[in-house]
A and B are shown apart, each in its own frame.
Chain A
Amino acid sequence: RYTSSYRDGTSLFPQHQDPPMTILLATYISYLFLIAIGHMRDFFGKRFWPGYYKHLMSAAGYAALNSDFDSFYTRRLKLRIEDCFARPVTGVPGRTILMYNRVSPDFNVSFKLTGQLTRALNVSSYNYLGFAQATGGVADAAEESIRRYGLSALGPRLEAGTQDLHTAAEALVARFLGVEDAAVISMGFATNSTTLPALVSRGCLVLSDEYNHASIRTGVRLSGASVRLFKHNDMASLEQILRESISQGQPRTHRPWKKILVVVEGLYSMEGTFVDLPALMTLKKRYKFYLYVDEAHSIGAIGPHGRGVCDYFGIDPTEVDILMGTFTKSFGAAGGYIAGKKVLIDKLRTINHAFAYAEAVSPPVLTQLTAAMASIMGVAPPLLTPVGAINTQSTALIPYSHPGPAPAAILPSWMHLPPALLSGVEGNTRLRRLAFNSRYLSQGLRKLGFIIYGHRDSPIVPLLIYNPGKMPVFSRLMLAANTYPGAVPFVVVIVAYPATPLITSRVRFCMSASHTKADVDRLLRACDRVGDLLDLKHGCPKHERWTVDEVIDRAVELVHMD
């Protein structure tokens, strides 16, 4: 049985392997080539086919709607591989997903649905714990809430948009995290972008990881605070900046900073890395900054009890000033939360933009997250099996004990969850399955010879592709069922610049508790084949590699390897 928790002495951050120079060179040349061709097409296109460029050119006294320079990347590079993005789907984004087949008559400018559907294995949705379900106890509760509550709370929280469901959900979130209080907001993005301006302002300094999410950047920009970036997860860089900023004070005036807020993510969605929380806590004691941890991806997904990075590293969550997270991922709902001390959260309720002006979280969404969260925690009473017994082994290892099961009194009285969910057994199984799947895939791909970023326990597994030309081919080959005998279609996410640095294009797998070992086996086989075809294996040296059959047979050994 594998649990997701930090073991002392394990290397937290595996060395990034660098690809051979030839690959880097080829990547740069590819981009040069694409850019040159793109500019040539723009040059001739504007002269011979002005109709297509209307929105890029001034006409009749109006300036161009979009600047051709700003949109160059989108038009000339992304458009070529547009078929790999925004593929329309239907049904539940669970273990598999139903995808609409589409064709483009005009080189990806527009798409037509053919009317056929493809069912593919889904290694792309943020469905870490598999709570994206249309059946089962959680969905039943959501249906009940639509009938009881309708679809909307009909207004902002501070006016008349607060329902008993909101207060219940907030109490449960706080309990889940082990902090005093929590507030829920109807959109994950907005949780960051409306809370940060409420926390910091001019005269404050925000130190932000260079790979932080766009919502954090938006929030910081709105706040008017000064901002400095530190190298991704590099605590030495952070410490150096901290020393410099505190000693130098504000620029020009040298006045001391009012406050310093360090903003990090628990699990970085493009890198698969965990924040180095233990080191960060040491720095926090020394430098007295406030810490804001965005657990959009990590909450529910890592840690022996699914409580995110604090749980994973065994750190008391009350030591982190502000915990933020979303319900979109592990809980299969939508929206986000802000949690911390009661004083802080109460204040945020009155000064956060979303509370005064944005719509409150919709009742079925609240029910989904409440029921999913309660299932991870287990509900007490009634206790069918002692939940503590399941966890004794892991809790013995770490000094911090997690907050325990959800008190039944917090949950709405009409919510009836099936016994497997109530006892927390189901939740626990899912956590362990996710932990196994994540580790297995990440280690397996490494052993096959791929360059994999990120932490080995991360449910997000980025596989490096580098060359822009290989990205769409990878995506299309994974989707095609005829690449090799016995192939099954996979939907994968490819990401490139600007979401990543220019050369490190990658494919990002998201593991889920709904995947079986056989699914991961299939994924490994598919990657193995496609990886050979596309020459992607530049990771561990050849003699250390395993064959795909070896990887599949020795899965358990692999997972426990370091």
Chain B
Amino acid sequence: MATAVNSTGVLPDTTPALEPILHYVSASLSYVYHSFLSIPGSSIVIRYVRSSYQNDPFRTVLEVILLLFALRTIFQSRTRADRSTKNYVQLSESEIDELVDDWIPEPLVTPLTPAEQAQLNALPIISGAAGPKPKLASTGKTVLNLASYNFAGLANNEHIKEQAVGALRKYGVGSCGPPGFYGTIDVHMQLEQDLANFLGTESAIIYSQAFSTASSVIPAFCKRGDIIVADRGVSFAIQKGIQISRSIVRWYDHNDLDSLEEVLIGVEKEMKKKRAPLTRRFIVTEGIFENDGQMVDLPKLIELKEKFKYRLLLDESISFGSVGRTGRGLTELYNVPATHIDMLLGSMATGLNAAGGFCAGSRVVTEHQRINGTSFVYSASMPALLAVGASEAIGVLRDNPGCLRELVENVRVVRGVLDRLECIEVPSHPASPLIHIYVRSGPSQGSTLEVPTLAARKGGKSKTTSLEPAEPVTFDIETEERLLQDVVDEALAQGVLISRVKRLRGQEASEPRPSIKLAVSAGLTRKEVEKAAGIIRAALLKVLGRRR
């Protein structure tokens, strides 16, 4: 408005030829001016503008531009692409039509490859209850099961089943709502309390699927600009959590705490050099690695975390409910208080044979997730009967440590057989109930091939920003998968159900080596385990021995 007032003031000095036009302009401007004056309160605005702007057109122009910019920002639609960039090609409507007609999308999915089809066809279907000795739908035969997660042998525990039926009769099946909206049932609170008491943490929070737990907990705490130092061999769920967090990631060699220390020192130096402000820093790793059954040295890990002031996120999906005297996991095995672990993740689907996952830690940690854990907030809470099943399973573990002693025995039996075989390689920790089997590379390469971590360490340092170790172990995925599948088929024919680990080739951060996964269970007697191990040994020898 200030400009309008000024321009009317300079009018009379112009040439007569333009007079009618200028007259018109001046008239319309004065009309605008007067109509503006008729708005109540406008005189105050004008007085303010006059007194504050004095004779400073530059400032006026600047402020008008600022105002326009602000308006543009406000009205700019979020959904529109930036057309102002040089890259935008202006096209006419007919050209667009033509382009639309010409565009041929790729098919939604590529058809199954023969290998994938074979894999689907070979999938065992269990008829009736899954457990230590399930019946197969295809043959009707009962087999010994070393493929299902049933470490403590809790599957089909009659007491747990009875309690679950009781819960069904009280709560129905589904919870019909997310925890925030009347989906928090008393049994969920009870289960959280049970988990916290069992582990000795202040509090716990439950998620309705184990797989979605890690990928929800990690981004709840790790934000853009935070630092995650993670193991190269972490499970797929953790990889996805790290990916979605958008934090800065540094990788250390798989289960190699010396490498971790080097990385931590490196990060510290880097931050000092950059004079970066203090950010949240996390070490993310697993207790027993899902991908190969190795076990982390927890006391050393905690020592490092405290020395470098990192928070520790430990995924115990495999170790919870399977190691330690009563199944409390690595903290019990190493006798470390669980309170030293900032976020302790676990699975109730594997360890307790129910469903879902949990995160245990301090109250601040769990309460934060109740609003920021995406798959907690935006998902229905787990069915009450499964929560009761998990609570009861904790009770069984706590009161009958005997079942885990049997598990330890059975693991020893299986390892006793496998460790003597020349044709395979077992990367897993001797105490791990999850045992992975690799095909040992052919004898031409020398018979003593080392475990990947050792190989990586001997060479030069690996780049912390990349997932690739310095000296990656080479293996032929296709051949090894085929061989291992042959072993699986052979064992099944002899009455032992085992499974090749199914990978999402192409989607994994770094391709894990093909392996067979044995999940040893306390549900089988020592005799049965000996028999199963014998059959697996024979199958391995038959398939892999033939190769030479």
Contact = CB atoms under 8 A, between A and B. Distances in A.
Interface of A: 54-55, 58, 60-67, 70-71, 74, 78, 85-94, 97, 99-100, 122, 124-127, 131-135, 139, 142-143, 146-164, 166-167, 186-190, 193-194, 197-199, 210, 213-215, 218, 221-222, 228-231, 237, 241-248, 251-252, 254, 256-260, 286-290, 321-322, 326-329, 331-334, 343-344, 346-351, 353-359, 362-365, 368, 491, 493
- How many B residues touch the partner, as a band? 35 or more
A92 B172 contact: yes
Given A155-B149, A237-B79, A328 B386 contact: no
Nearest to A288: B105
A91 B170 contact: yes
Nearest to A152: B353
B502 A348 contact: no
Contacts of A190: 209, 211-212, 375, 379
B126 A65 contact: no
A247 B99 contact: yes
Contact of B374 (A155, A214, A286, A329): A214
Nearest to B157: A150
Contacts of A132: 172-174, 176
B173 A328 contact: no
18 contacts: A62-B311, A63-B279, A125-B176, A134-B170, A135-B169, A152-B130, A152-B355, A153-B130, A163-B125, A189-B378, A248-B89, A257-B105, A258-B105, A328-B174, A328-B176, A334-B382, A350-B116, A357-B211
B244 A93 contact: no
Interface in B206-236: 208-212, 215, 221, 223, 226, 235-236
Nearest to A194: B211
B106 A142 contact: no
B443 interface: no
B17 interface: no
Contact of B240 (A248, A351, A353): A353
Contact of A139 (B77, B125, B173, B309): B173
Nearest to B150: A154
| Majority DSSP secondary structure for residues of A touching B | mixed
A158 B123 contact: yes
A173 B353 CA distance: 26
B379 A159 contact: no
Given A187-B208, A247-B100, A127 B112 contact: no
Contact of A142 (B168, B281, B355, B497): B168
B108 interface: yes
Nearest to B363: A110
B142 interface: no
Given A147-B165, A247-B99, A251-B87, A359 B174 contact: no
B219 to A, nearest CB: 9
B193 interface: no
A82 to B, nearest CB: 10
B44 interface: no
| Majority DSSP secondary structure for residues of B touching A | loop
A494 B425 CA distance: 57
A131 to B, nearest CB: 8
Given A124-B177, A222-B244, 10 more contacts: A85-B181, A91-B171, A187-B209, A218-B375, A247-B89, A327-B174, A351-B504, A351-B507, A359-B211, A362-B355
Contact of A155 (B147, B181, B368): B147
B172 A86 contact: no
Interface in B158-189: 160-161, 164-165, 168-177, 179-186, 189
A159 B88 CA distance: 49
Given A155-B149, A187-B208, A357 B280 contact: no
Given A151-B161, A154-B155, A247-B95, A199 B378 contact: no
Contacts, number: 381
A73 to B, nearest CB: 9
Interface in B120-149: 120, 123-131, 137, 145, 147-149
A109 B385 CA distance: 29
Contact of B172 (A62, A213, A332): A332
B184 to A, nearest CB: 5
A289 B105 contact: yes
B10 interface: no
A244 B82 CA distance: 11
B375 A189 contact: yes
B176 A134 contact: no
Contacts of B223: 67, 70
Nearest to B104: A288
Nearest to B388: A151
A67 B372 CA distance: 12
Interface in B322-356: 347, 349-350, 353-355
7 tightest A-B contacts by CB? A358-B211, A154-B148, A187-B209, A160-B147, A359-B349, A189-B379, A158-B502
Interface in B377-427: 377-380, 382-383, 385-386, 389
A246 B173 contact: no
Nearest to A78: B371
A193 B212 contact: yes
B174 A214 contact: no
B278 interface: yes
B60 interface: no
A93 B172 contact: yes
A370 to B, nearest CB: 11
A241 B236 CA distance: 34
A228 B262 CA distance: 41
Given A148-B128, A353-B236, A222 B161 contact: no
Contacts of B377: 214
Interface string B69-100: 00000000111010000011101000110011
A362 B208 contact: no
B370 interface: yes
Given A151-B160, A332-B174, A259 B108 contact: yes
A415 to B, nearest CB: 14
A344 B379 contact: no
B119 interface: yes
B182 A97 contact: yes
B79 A231 contact: yes
B109 interface: yes
A248 B164 CA distance: 57
Given A124-B181, A156-B502, A491-B182, A364 B173 contact: yes
B170 A243 contact: no
Residue of A131, A164, A258 with most partner-chain B CB within 10 A:
A164
Contacts of B106: 258-259
B503 interface: yes
Nearest to A153: B130
Contacts of B382: 334
A229 B78 contact: yes
Given A86-B184, A256-B103, A286-B100, A159 B168 contact: no
Contact of A163 (B100, B108, B130): B130
A63 B131 CA distance: 46
Nearest to A252: B87
B229 to A, nearest CB: 14
Nearest to B241: A222
